[in-house]
Every structure is written in C-alpha cells, then in structure tokens.
Chain A
Amino acid sequence: MSSFLLSLITFSAITVIGVVSIFPLTGLTGLFSFGQAAYMAIGAYVAGICAVQLNMTVIPCILIGVLTAGLVSIIIGIPTLKLRTDYFALISMCLGEAITAILRKFSTVTGGAGGLSNIPNYVGTTAIVISAIVIIAIVACFKNSSFGRMSLAIKNDELAAKSFGINVYSHKLKVYLFTSMIAGYCGGLYAFYIRFIDPSMFGWTKSSEWVIFLFFGGINSLTGSVISAILLSVLPEFLRFATEARIVMYSILILLVINFRPQGLLGEYELSLESIKKLFHKSKKLQGGGNNGTT
C-alpha cells in the first residue's frame, strides 16, 4: 500500500477514536465538551515526555498518559459537573485553552510552542486501526449496557432520571472519566505515530471538530459517528483543494445536514446483526407486498 493511503487510514482511525471518545459524553449523556482535545493533548504529551525524557517503553508511556488524563478529568469534573450543562461546555472549552497555555509555558519539559519532537515511532497503522476497532466495540458495549441506558435517561430528562434513583452527578463523573481516558489513549497513539506534537494541534477547534463530526453522523448513532468520522477525514483528502476550501466545503456540507436532516446522516440507526436482518426482511416485504400497496 502506498504511504499516502496508509497515513490516510491511520489519521482517519485516530479521528474515529477521537469522535467515538466523545460519543458517550455528548451522544448518550447530552453533555457538551469542547475540551476533549485537551485530554488528547495530555495523553500525547505525557506519553511523549515519558518516552523522550525517561526512555520508557510504549505500554507504560501510554498507560501513564491515560491515567493522567483520567486524573485531570476527575479534578475538573468534580466541581463542574454539578453545574448547568452550558457552564460545563464553557469550562471544558477553557480547559482546552488552559492546557495549551500550560504546554506553551513550561517549555523546558514540553518544548513550548515549538512542540515536542524526537518522539520514538512506537506505533504503526495496524496497532492504531486495531485500537480503533476495539474502542468502537467497547463503546458499543457501553451503549447497550445498563450504564449506557442510564446515560440516555439523564440526557432525556435529568430530573426524571434522578427520581428513578440514578445518581446523576456520580454517573456523569464516571462517563466523563471514561471518555477522557479514551481521548488520552488517542493522544498517546497520535504522539507515537506522528512523532512530533505541538500545542496548537489540540485547541478548541479540534474539539469542536469532533463534536461537529458526531453531529454529522447522527448524535444518537454510534455507527453514524464512526462513518462520518471516516467520511469527513477521507473526503477532503480526495477533493484536492487548498485546506481552506476543503474546510469551507465541509462546513457547507454540515450546515446542509443540520438544516435539512437534523437527526444526522443515520439518525437512530445502528449497524448490528438484527438491523441487517430487519433490512433484508423489509426489502423482501416490499417486493412481496408491492401489489396491494400496504407495506
């Protein structure tokens, strides 16, 4: 395979992990985070620094990165998840700015605005694609578990969820921890693949890009968010324009989807064995029952 194709696959797999990492938070629990890229930054930097300065091997590096991301998410989550969701969105956005500011400030460790370079190339395309698949599977399990259904209940009506005995606050905290750790893992992979990271890669535009991708695919559908993450990261590469023109193209695309198909590309649809069976069933019915007009 050509190296272009390989890097395309890898980057879209990384985007898929990123978008899937906010699915439990935004799609299921209805919390808006514009700072998930900050956790990616934490994961990437911690793993990168461990590897560059301490010469550690890949697994402990990524593990420490993920744990640090989780720790930060608990510290941020404890005070903010009690607040209204708007405030949570705001604080998560400012978290992104704060993290990039800190990364720029402590330049002796992080390389500052110039970025952290010479990160060893520990992960290849295969590892990242497998990780993406595993993470999709984990999140799918999460969605179908009682934990995921509790999240949905909170999204639809927080008060009703509370009256059914769900501890809304601790549940949100758990979801936030979970998603931040996935984002941290994504960051670790990213750092070891691209081998150079700088703070501007993880600003709030990156985080909002993930949210936009999620919406494009349909906020209630994991399949949709995976497909839209792949589509929106691959499509611009094939439409060979200048970067700005590509961004304009997909902003227009997203505006069209939101305006004319507000439930997203796939709506509630999920890819599973049952849904495939149902699809076949439906098409059979359509063929058989076509003459009497009832379907």
Chain B
Amino acid sequence: MNVTFLIQQLINGLSRGAVYALIAVGFALIFSVLKFSNFGHGGLISVSAFAGYFFAGVLKFNPVVSVILSAVVGALLGVLLDFIAFKNLRKHKSPSIYYFVSSITAGILFMNVLTIFFGTTFYSIPPFFSQPTINLGNIIIAKLDATIFIVCSVLLAAVMLVINKTSLGLALRAVSMDADTAKLMGMNSNAVVTFTFLIAGMLAGVSGIFLGANFTVDPFIGNMVAKGFIASVVGGLGSLPGSIAGALMLGVIEVILTTACGDIITPALIFVFMLIFLLIRPQGISGKFIQEKA
C-alpha cells in the first residue's frame, strides 16, 4: 500500500464521515436536550432527500438553491415531527423510552408515506458539477465530496456558534440540563425544544440532499441514521464535538475496511470495532458521560 493510496482513502473516508457528522450532530442535538435517541431523524432525511430530488431533478434549480430549499423543508419537517410524535409525550412527562419508540414509529411512517407516492425505485439527483473531480497529482478528489465536507464544516461551526454564544443557545443548554427549572426561570421550554427540532431538521435536510446526491434517492435512505447513531455513541452521547469526531472516524474506518475486506462483511467488522471501542472507552471519545439517576 503506498502513501498516495492511503491519502486517497483518508480523503474518501473524511468526506463520507462529513455526511455522517451532519446526521450525528442532528442526532446528538436532540439527545442533549431531550435525552433520547431520535430515530425519527431518518424519516426527515428521507423526505428531504426526495425534496432535494424534486428541487434539483424535477424543477432544475441550481444546486445552492436546492440545498437551501431542502434545508428549509427539513427544518419544517423537524417541527412537524416534534408536533406529531413528541408534543403530547412532553406534556405527560412520559419516560424517555416512549420518546424512543415514538421516534422510530414516526421514522417508519415518513418512509412509508414516501413509498406510497414514489415506490421503492431509485431516483438520482443530477450531478451538481459538470466536471466532477479535481486531480491533484495522483490524488483524485470528487468535487461533490469536497463541497459536502466544506458545507458540513461551515454548518457545524454555525450550529456550535449558535449553541455556545447566543442567548438562544444558552436557553437551549439550560433546558438540556433541566427543563423544569428552566421553565421556572421564565423560559419557554416548549419553544426551545421546538427550536432544537428546527435546527436538527435543518441538518437532516442538508444531509438528506447530500446523501441523495452522493448515492441515489430512495425512501429508505434515511436508514443511514443508524450510522449517525453509531457515530454519536462512539463520540459520547449528547456531545456535539464528540459526535463529529466519531462520525469522521467511522467514515474513515468504513472506507478503509470496505476497500480492504469488501462491501458485504464491513458491517460485521464495524460491529466488532465498536464492541472493542466501547469496552476500552465506554464514555465515548468526548468523555462526557451523561449520568442516569444516581
């Protein structure tokens, strides 16, 4: 194995990891505020991938407009998801396990509504660039991958900035620590949660159209959310920087394993890797360990 090949694999892995990072952050965001794993995220990704196909493939908007529009669609869907699946649960203060089941069901619902309208056929979003690759010596970088990487980095930086620097972010962090106390302090926790779903939905929207452009669009593309889940657990549940690191690592490892051992057995090897990782470092990369009732 020569150096160029390794660098090439690393680049491929990082660009795949960047998409996983978008999913994982949307996932971790909800986890940090509501303390449950939101599998409904997959439904949002599927629907926004189709929205992306609609904007870029059918209406032939240019890529920038398409990405922005699918982000908007994703954000609106996030709010809708909150409304149909979680609003009542929050009102009843149900245990987090109910959120979990509710989110999975909502995800299945979204994907199957899509299947009713579009069938299980594959749709492809037309390529964003007429000249798809950049050649740097022996290394080939797909422009799409580079764009995904840059857009993901910018978006994630923006989300981190909003969470860490603005008063809205402060409110969000307060609610994530203790929703009831935040309410007593005069915050509208419900609105904050809705806002969280808005951001998570937006991230899902962007990852949806990028996943669709990178692979093909079908109703079950949202099952990629499992990768986001793995990344956010490896990174440390609920920690945003951790889940980004976890996602990048997962992307690189996955690409390397796929080229080394083939496509079919990779999920099994990733499973083994994860098992070993969690045995060595159960608190995840970030080391932030969310305490259950002591």
* Selected contact of A244 from candidates B116, B275, B292, CB within 8 Å: B116
Residues from chain B with a CB closer than 8 A to the CB of A98 are 267-268, 270-272
A212/B104 in contact, CB under 8 A? yes
B229 interface residue (CB < 8 Å to A): yes
Question: Interface stretch among A7-15, A46-54, A82-90, A189-197?
Answer: A82-90
The residues in B between 100 and 120 inclusive whose CB is less than 8 angstroms from any CB of A are 100-102, 104-106, 108-109, 112-113, 115-116
B105/A258 in contact, CB under 8 A? yes
Inter-chain CA distance A22–B121, complex, in Å, is 34
Question: How many A-B contacts are there with CB distance less than 8 Å?
Answer: 115
Which residue from chain B places its CB closest to the CB of A262 in the assembled complex? B94
Per-residue CB contact flags for chain A residues 91-104 toward chain B (1 = under 8 Å, else 0) read 10111011111101
Known contacts A80-B275, A244-B112; A251/B89 CB under 8 A:
no
B267/A97 in contact, CB under 8 A? yes
Q: How far is the CB of A58 from chain B (nearest CB, A)?
A: 30
Q: How far is the CB of B1 from chain A (nearest CB, A)?
A: 23
Secondary structure dominating the interface of A: helix
A252/B104 in contact, CB under 8 A? no
* Selected contact of B116 from candidates A105, A208, A245, A260, CB within 8 Å: A245
B84/A86 in contact, CB under 8 A? no
Per-residue CB contact flags for chain A residues 64-92 toward chain B (1 = under 8 Å, else 0) read 00000000000000011001101101110
Using a Cβ–Cβ cut-off of 8 Å, how many residues does chain A contribute to the interface with B?
44
Residues from chain A with a CB closer than 8 A to the CB of B98 are 215, 258, 262
B144 interface residue (CB < 8 Å to A): no
Secondary structure dominating the interface of B: helix
B102/A258 in contact, CB under 8 A? yes
Q: What is the size category of the interface that chain B forms with chain A?
A: 35 or more
Which residue from chain B places its CB closest to the CB of A83 in the assembled complex? B282
B271/A95 in contact, CB under 8 A? yes
B265/A93 in contact, CB under 8 A? no
A258/B268 in contact, CB under 8 A? no
Residues from chain B with a CB closer than 8 A to the CB of A134 are none
Inter-chain CA distance A91–B274, complex, in Å, is 8
A242/B116 in contact, CB under 8 A? yes
Considering the complex of A and B, which 9 residue pairs feature the smallest CB-CB distances, nearest first? A98-B271, A251-B109, A259-B88, A101-B267, A98-B268, A244-B115, A101-B268, A94-B271, A247-B112
| Chain A positions near chain B (C-beta within 8 angstroms) | 30, 32, 79-80, 83-84, 86-87, 89-91, 93-95, 97-102, 104-105, 157, 159, 204-205, 208, 211-212, 215, 219, 242, 244-245, 247-248, 251-252, 254-255, 258-260, 262
